[in-house]
Amino acid sequence: MSGSEALAHAGRALLMAGGEATKNFEWIVVIGGFLAFFAAFGIGANDVANAFATSVGSGALSIKSAVVLAGVFEFCGAMFMGGHVVETMRKGVTDQKCFNGKSGSHDPVLLMYGCLCVIFAVGVWLVVASALEMPVSTTHSCVGGLIGMTLVARGDGCVVWSKKSDEFPYVKGVAAIVVSWVLSPVISGCFSFAMFLILRTLVMRSENSFSRVSYVFPVLFGATLIINVFFIVYKGSPHLGLKNTPVGTACAAAFGVGGGAGILSYFLISPYIVRRTEELYAQEQAEQAERGSGKKVEETVVRQPREYPRGVFGAPTRVWYAIQDHLETSLAVKASDLIEEDMAVNAIHDNAEKFDEKTELSMRYLQILTACCDAFAHGANDVANSIGPFATIVLVYKAGKVSTKKKDPMGDDAYWILSLGALGIVVGLALYGYRILHALGTKLAKLTPSRGICIELGAACVIILGSRMGWPLSTTHCQVGATMGVAMLEGRKGINWFILAKTVSGWIITLVVVGFSTSAFFAQGAFAPMVHYPCYIAATAKDSISEALCTL
């Protein structure tokens, strides 16, 4: 065997060596990790705002507090229940059997590279959409990217458009995902509409509404915990051994924890809330009286330029201080300032029905809890949009092939992969999430603590249920649908139709933009002219090495 023949044989053997072949593409895993964090950053900037937008818009939380709470509960949701939707994103859109090496020994690497393109396209679009204040669907982004990549790589036959399943809802694939996108906002809106109608009738419109808070809080507090505990215990994260918990055990745990906490809250928390609300209300009334009498003048704070320390060779080390400046200014923006600046938003807020101030003030405490529940649900569902494709990259790289198993758990890799996504989400919300927080929390409709509670609970119920079933729901759809359900009780004037139209158009545009951009990125790398250069050499120079590589 000549030297050239040996080299050609070695090249062919390397590409067909299964696990050894993917080891040469460790760079895809490394870059994929950075891009997965970047995509999670985009999710935090655009989508996590869904969970706390109503709390910020109603004044129950400042943006700074929302960032801290979102970080904790997004992380917990991703770790406790994130595995189900990650599995759907990995195998529910693309038929990975098309990349198992039958049409070419380099197929597993093509799938790895395709998922890399999906992550990059998703991250770029989410950051751009956040800059435009468009609360787009990150689920649309990821699904659109996977469809675009698969169509270019293997054709429409390798997209899982529809597939029968032995488990509810008995249909998997793109069809089931699209149906969930349509149903989720409708169901969320119905839930929120019904909850706020009951709360408004029995409590908020009552002459003694504040005295009824002591009875309402334990009920809603216990119900919120029951919902969360049940779905955590009942076939929760497979990585924590909660996958096959019996329904009876889950119900017992949920009602035991939620019911017990509700009863305790009646004796321990409700009295504190009533007392604290009385104090805050008296304080606010005193401040208003002082402003009205002219005794107190509001001061305008003018921020002075920051003195930057000098780095090596006198260069200013401005990166960290620039981040600090950004956080201090963006996280300090108040919803009331935006309402006063926008005439359309101001009109919507003036048109909304006003309730007793003390009752609304007391509802803030419960809204913080429901917002945490919503954040937990979001972490369980949407972390898959950045981590699902990256999980595919890691598993294919380690196995050296594409698994054809129906169930292919991530094992111990799940912990650091999910943690990477959760961390990126928190950073994205902290640095850039304030834009969507105001778009959904202030400009879309009039939000108060009583309204926010119903919106967050309605959306969280649907999202958590969908996460358990493995549906990659759009949390943006759920949140907007729930907000519309509550706002409809105010009539047509209770909704900012311009913001709603902008949001819905963003959902439609997302599928197209991410699908086409992913296709372009993948085609440029996988089908660039340089890929076929060995065939060109073989045809013109009759080079044996090129001939061997061309036939691979």
**HEC profile for 173-203?**
CHHHHHHHHHHHHHHHHHHHHHHHHHHHHHH
Instruction: Determine the pLDDT at residue 197.
Output: 93
Closest CA to 45 of 116, 138, 119, 145: 138
Arithmetic mean of pLDDT, 32-60: 78
Residue with more model confidence, 330 or 184:
184
pLDDT above 70 as % of the chain: 67
Q: Which two tokens stand for residue 251?
A: 């119900």
Where does residue 241 fall: left (phi above 0), alpha (psi -120 to 50 degrees), or beta otherwise? left
What is the sign of the dihedral through the CA atoms of 367, 371, 372 and 373?
A: positive
For residue 101, the model assigns a pLDDT of 60
pLDDT band per the 50, 70, 90 thresholds, residue 119: very high
Interior/surface letters 460-474, b for 16+ CB within 10 angstroms, e for the rest? bbbbbbbbbbbbbbb
Query: Which residues have C-beta within 8 Å of that of residue 338, sequence separation ≥ 6?
Result: 345, 438, 442, 443
User: If you average pLDDT over residues 47-53, what whole number do you get?
Assistant: 66
Say which amino acid occupies 534. P
The answer for 134, left when phi > 0, alpha when psi is -120 to 50, beta otherwise, is beta
What is the pLDDT at residue 6? 41
Mean pLDDT of 182-190: 88
* Spatial separation of the C-alpha atoms in residues 71 and 87, rounded to whole Å: 23
* Weakest-pLDDT range from 66-80, 202-216, 307-321, 417-431: 307-321
- How many Å apart are CA 111 and CA 24, to the nearest integer? 15
Q: Residue 474's closest CA among 231, 177, 106, 93?
A: 177
Per-residue tokens: 550: 């061309």
Higher-pLDDT residue of 400 and 519 is: 519
pLDDT-derived band of residue 7, with 50, 70 and 90 as boundaries? Answer: very low
> What pLDDT is stored for residue 327 in this prediction?
45
Instruction: State pLDDT tens for residues 358-373.
Output: 888 888 888 888 778 7
Distance CA 135, CA 54 (A): 14
Give the mean model confidence (pLDDT) for residues 153-175.
Answer: 77
* Confidence (pTM): 0.75
Task: Quote the Cα angle for 421-45-339, to 5°.
Answer: 150
pLDDT in tens, 307-353: 555 555 444 455 544 445 544 444 444 555 555 556 666 677 677 78
- Closest by CA to 90, choosing from 427, 532, 389, is 389
Using 50, 70 and 90 to split pLDDT, how confident is the model at 161?
A: confident
Q: Residue 117's pLDDT band (boundaries 50, 70, 90)?
A: very high
pLDDT at 304 exceeding the cut of 50: no
Residue type for 522, please?
A: F
Cβ-proximal residues to 200 (8 Å cutoff; 6+ apart), any chain: 355, 450, 489
Sign (positive/negative) of CA torsion 481, 486, 492, 495? negative
